[in-house]
Amino acid sequence: MWVVELLKFLWLVVIELTPFTVINHYDRGAVLRLGKYRRTLEPGLRFRWPLVDQVLTARVTISTLVVKAQSMHTLDGVQVTAILIIRYRINNVKPYLLDIENREDILGDTAPGIFRRLINHQNYNELNGEELENDVAKRLREKVNKYGFKIYEVTVPTFAKVKVIRLITDGSVAVEEE
């Protein structure tokens, strides 16, 4: 048992003392020297000072985030529900890795707020799907660019009026069309 633990320890020492790191094609890295940002690493075999440099990496391939169904009201009081799909990638690893925590939550928390504000300020009959998607994408880019995100596209595959079903106290059910 102690032999296995000794081998694990020796392996960690070897890894920490290795002066090189490999950054994969689909990643970018950030070098911290004694805890302070020094530089961004591109793919390939890269030098680092053992015991002094720490390399953090982030996947920079295009990703998709599906934002769960959101329920909201238009300016004229129509209740609607929508699902958002965001296509994005990381284009600057420094702010992405060093300036935010819970990185994926940035998009998932920001996009619904932007979408809700747009819906709340328009009447139902004025809503245009493509124009709405473009407006959400534009505003989302403005908000999250500083965190290293590049937004390619926002789509709204599901957008519909909601039927409100109310259970009356006598046990009957009433359906309201909005």
pLDDT at position 4 is 86
pLDDT at position 173 is 55
Pair of tokens at residue 58: 């982030």
Distance CA 71, CA 123 (A): 15
For 21, 25, 129, the CA distances from 45, given in Å and listed in that order, are 6, 11, 46
Mean local confidence (pLDDT), 153-169: 80
Q: Which residue has the tokens 């805890």?
A: 35
Q: Give the H/E segment covering residue 174.
A: strand 173-176
pLDDT at position 172 is 59
Predicted confidence (pLDDT) per residue in 14-56, tens digit: 777 788 899 999 999 999 999 999 999 999 999 999 889 999 9
3 phi and psi angles, rounded to 5 deg: -65, -40
Predicted confidence (pLDDT) per residue in 70-128, tens digit: 889 999 988 999 999 999 999 999 999 999 988 878 999 999 999 999 999 988 888 87
- Kindly report the pTM of this predicted structure: 0.80
pLDDT at position 57 is 95
pLDDT at position 40 is 96
Please state which CATH class domain 63-164 belongs to.
alpha beta
**Where are the domains positioned within the chain?**
2-59, 63-164
pLDDT at position 158 is 85
Task: Concatenate the DSSP letters of all residues of 61-73 into one string.
Answer: S-EEEEEEEEEEE
